[in-house]
Structure 1
């Protein structure tokens, strides 16, 4: 049975507006400015060279980001069923874990775990993974949803 509840404003702002806009921006960066995206990944990536032969990878990432934007901006808006929200957001949290793992691998433990060593790009990338990712998990755990927001 669907569990409906008024989704708290902070969750609605993040998941229905802020993140979809950020993901949609990422679509354009990967399609039309892949060098910018490549250089934002790590200090080592600044020495990397963009090759047009790699563009399909950026195009596929853009497709992934477009799906995220659509899922949040459209699918989540279409329902107030907390169970649906939790399923979708938990799947996105799984993606967050892989993104963090990739960042850890490219940055190394010394940089990944030390914000004093982050470039502005790490601040954007990691804060956008830790912050919304943490809120995704909080939502899935029912934090702030009240008794009606609990699903079985």
Structure 2
């Protein structure tokens, strides 16, 4: 009898098993890589949100005073503002710049909880030097945070 060209069923099954073993060994690496990328992306977005808060305070677009439901001012003039998760900035009528920039703020800040603490360091005749601390938190398995700091004059 003459042998025909092609593969036997045994050869095909062995090839399938080899491919499955390779895929099964690589799959956990791919899953871990995708999870790590997702965490890094969220952390980068949180850091960008924190830097945006810094810019908004330095440019005078955010309050350095008491705002009902958002910002409190202590006896030592330390201003603390807390913006919870999923806050709708378009409805934030207490702060005019939030209404004007609401859609942009919602896109950037909604997944995060932001806490801003502005501490007056020194006051002169026309200006105050402030130390500004911004903490942006987000939920993964547990709460994660980034902190940024700056000083500015206003």
TM bucket normalised to smaller: under 0.3
Provide TM-score, normalisation by structure 2: 0.27
Higher normalized helix content (fraction of residues): 1
The structure whose RCO (Cα within 8 Å, separation 6+) is larger is 1
Larger fraction in strand: 2
